[in-house]
């Protein structure tokens, strides 16, 4: 185990960086009261578990589970390796305007709000019980968090990987990166997982994917059955809950919503959400869509579809074969803009629009996120050529532009056919 993977800043310099330890703010929010609005909008008894759980878990991810907790940022971190080593994976991406403000103690103001909010969570000591933080080499902001968060965490692992999702070129490099990560986890947690433990972890996440797909597909055809708030709360809860628990409770949600018979009127308009992740409590865009009667029937975001849609498909049941299969789940199909893979994003958008008869696409671009913004021109041109209406919204976590965004969404809805 190398020193670089424990902390990215040496002791000598860490001593000067006291911003995470000297001051302490109160945990920012009583998420329960914020959740109340979405609880009331729900109408599904089975969603109560997720409303309660997400509000509670966000205050202290993974606490009280009697397991080591591995926090991670972004999708390309293979949860199955963490589970096989007896730890709980929790994804710590954060979207709270108050945490973003607190994060400005550690990073400058004009940085992506999600990076600032993630810093703010650590600043607020929300993640104190994390045993290890795993940072993927995705966007520049996330990579630099490996250094910036060094004073705040016990140990950090940087999962470095090539940004080209060409399977033929990179499968061996990805598999090597996952192999090293697995070795690191085994050493850290003194775990000796067998090949069967790894297979079991894959079965567990595949079962979660199976239920998610049922929900995704049902909702894409009948969005009135499960509103967007519940859908994103359900998806985000999978960041924090043990997968078996999520699967069991989400199965109940599927059963309830699919038995309600809430069918869309034939002329109602349905749209696809793409772009930066949408995370509770920053539901500004969802609030506006709901107010304007716009049905966001499906998404291709890393906070829902990107986290849960792809299964592990194992064709060779050796440890190496499973690690390869994991790279094909997490990296090869990735539509995260940090990778070179716009063909995959375009194919996914076009296929989803066609499959579910969607009327247009809303692309949500978190302000100061260059990787999402830089690909808008390509997206705009291709969708125009295909005759698919596109609305690009650039915003942050503040509420100041709510009226303006609402006007633009209303105008977009009127032009949909
Ligand atoms: S889009 Fe990519 S880098 Fe951004 S939060 Fe999602 S997985 Fe991470
Ligand atoms: S929104 Fe953009 S800049 Fe922010 S963490 Fe995600 S990919 Fe990185």
48-57 and 243-258 helices, crossing angle to 10°:
150
User: Which of 276, 279, 364 to mutate for ligand 2's pocket (most ligand atoms within 8 Å of CB)?
Assistant: 276
pLDDT at residue number 23? 62
C-beta separation of 83 from 201 below 8 A: yes
Query: Which pLDDT band, with edges at 50, 70 and 90, does 36 fall under?
Result: very high
- Atom 2 (ligand 2): residue with closest C-alpha? 369
What average pLDDT score do residues 168-191 get?
96
| Ligand 1 atom with minimal separation from the 75 CA | 7
| Ligand 2 atom with minimal separation from the 111 CA | 3
What average pLDDT score do residues 38-66 get?
94
pLDDT at residue number 1? 45
What average pLDDT score do residues 65-80 get?
96
Query: Which pLDDT band, with edges at 50, 70 and 90, does 28 fall under?
Result: low
Query: Which pLDDT band, with edges at 50, 70 and 90, does 165 fall under?
Result: confident
Query: Which pLDDT band, with edges at 50, 70 and 90, does 26 fall under?
Result: low
Pocket of ligand 1 (CB under 6 A): 74-75, 93, 138-139, 142, 277, 302, 336, 338
Any alpha helices (H) in 23-166, and if so which ranges? Answer: 31-42, 48-57, 79-84, 97-103, 113-123, 140-148
Two tokens at 50? 């997720």
| Ligand 1 atom with minimal separation from the 142 CA | 3
pLDDT at residue number 27? 57
Nearest Cα to Cα of residue 286 among 278, 298, 297: 278
pLDDT at residue number 193? 98
Bridge partners, 298 (sequence order): 272
What average pLDDT score do residues 133-162 get?
93
**How many domains are contained in the chain?**
1
Sign of the alpha-carbon torsion through 94, 293, 377, 170: positive
Tens of pLDDT, residues 299-345: 999 999 999 999 999 999 999 999 999 999 999 999 999 999 899 99
Tens of pLDDT, residues 100-146: 998 998 899 999 999 999 999 998 889 999 999 999 999 999 999 99
User: For residues 375 and 183, what is the distance between their CA atoms, to the nearest angstrom?
Assistant: 36
Phi and psi angles of residue 179, each rounded to the nearest 5 degrees, phi first? -65, -45
- Atom 5 (ligand 1): residue with closest C-alpha? 74
Nearest Cα to Cα of residue 89 among 339, 397, 330, 338: 330
Query: Which pLDDT band, with edges at 50, 70 and 90, does 5 fall under?
Result: low
Reply yes or no on whether the pLDDT at 390 is more than 80: yes
Phi and psi angles of residue 389, each rounded to the nearest 5 degrees, phi first? -60, 140
Query: Which pLDDT band, with edges at 50, 70 and 90, does 201 fall under?
Result: very high
Query: Which pLDDT band, with edges at 50, 70 and 90, does 24 fall under?
Result: low
Reply yes or no on whether the pLDDT at 417 is more than 80: no
What average pLDDT score do residues 28-34 get?
78
Q: For the chain, what is the radius of gyration of the CA atoms? A: 21
With a 6 Å cutoff on the Cβ, whether 372 touches ligand 2 is: yes
CA of 170 to the centre of ligand 2 (A): 23
Average pLDDT, the chain: 93
What average pLDDT score do residues 35-57 get?
95
Phi and psi angles of residue 392, each rounded to the nearest 5 degrees, phi first? -100, 125
- Which range has the worst mean pLDDT, 10-24, 29-43, 118-132, 231-245? 10-24
What average pLDDT score do residues 347-364 get?
97
Per the structure, the complete domain to which residue 369 belongs is given by: 3-415
Reply yes or no on whether the pLDDT at 29 is more than 50: yes
Nearest Cα to Cα of residue 338 among 76, 130, 144: 76
Between 16 and 278, residue with greater pLDDT? 278
Phi and psi angles of residue 264, each rounded to the nearest 5 degrees, phi first? -70, 140
Q: How far is CA 118 from the centre of its chain?
A: 13
Reply yes or no on whether the pLDDT at 361 is more than 90: yes
pTM: predicted TM-score of the whole model, two decimal places: 0.96
pLDDT at residue number 17? 86
pLDDT at residue number 360? 98
Q: What is the largest CA-CA distance in the chain?
A: 66
User: For residues 174 and 285, what is the distance between their CA atoms, to the nearest angstrom?
Assistant: 35
With a 6 Å cutoff on the Cβ, whether 142 touches ligand 2 is: yes
CA of 4 to the centre of ligand 1 (A): 23
With a 6 Å cutoff on the Cβ, whether 306 touches ligand 2 is: no
pLDDT at residue number 198? 98
Query: Which pLDDT band, with edges at 50, 70 and 90, does 25 fall under?
Result: low
């Amino acid at each position: 185990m190398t020193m670089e993977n424990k902390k990215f800043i040496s002791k000598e310099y860490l001593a000067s960086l006291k911003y995470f330890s000297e001051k302490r703010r109160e945990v920012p929010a009583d998420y329960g009261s914020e959740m109340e609005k979405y609880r009331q909008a729900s109408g599904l008894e089975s969603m109560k578990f997720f409303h309660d759980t997400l509000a509670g878990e966000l205050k202290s991810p993974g606490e009280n589970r009697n397991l080591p907790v591995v926090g991670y940022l972004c999708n390309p971190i293979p949860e199955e390796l963490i589970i096989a080593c007896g730890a709980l994976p929790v994804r710590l991406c954060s979207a709270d305007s108050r945490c973003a403000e607190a994060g400005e103690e550690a990073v400058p103001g004009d940085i992506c709000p999600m990076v600032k909010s993630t810093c703010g969570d650590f600043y607020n000591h929300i993640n104190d019980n994390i045993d290890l933080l795993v940072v993927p080499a995705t966007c520049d902001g996330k990579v630099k968090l490996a250094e910036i968060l060094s004073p705040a965490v016990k140990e950090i692992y940087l999962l470095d990987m090539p940004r080209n999702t060409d399977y033929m070129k990179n499968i061996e490099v990805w598999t090597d990166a996952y192999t090293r990560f697995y070795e690191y986890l085994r050493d850290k947690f003194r775990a000796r997982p067998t090949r069967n433990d790894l297979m079991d972890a894959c079965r567990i996440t595949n079962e979660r994917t199976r239920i998610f797909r049922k929900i995704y597909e049902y909702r894409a055809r009948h969005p009135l059955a499960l509103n967007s708030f519940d859908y994103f709360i359900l998806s985000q809860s999978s960041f924090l809950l043990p997968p078996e628990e999520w699967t069991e409770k989400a199965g109940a949600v599927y059963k309830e919503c699919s038995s309600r018979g809430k069918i869309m009127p034939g002329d109602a308009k349905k749209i696809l959400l793409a772009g930066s992740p949408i995370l509770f409590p920053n539901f500004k865009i969802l609030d506006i869509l709901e107010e304007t009667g716009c049905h966001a029937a499906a998404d291709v975001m890393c906070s829902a579809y990107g986290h849960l849609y792809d299964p592990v498909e194992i064709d060779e049941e050796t440890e190496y074969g499973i690690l390869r299969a994991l790279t094909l789940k997490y990296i090869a199909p990735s539509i995260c803009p940090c990778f070179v893979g716009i063909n995959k994003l375009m194919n996914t958008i076009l296929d989803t629009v066609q499959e579910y008869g969607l009327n247009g696409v809303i692309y949500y671009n978190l302000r100061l996120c260059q990787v999402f913004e830089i690909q808008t021109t390509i997206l705009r041109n291709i969708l125009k050529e295909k005759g698919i209406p596109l609305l690009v919204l650039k915003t942050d976590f503040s509420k100041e532009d709510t009226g303006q965004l609402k006007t633009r969404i209303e105008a977009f809805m009127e032009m949909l056919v």
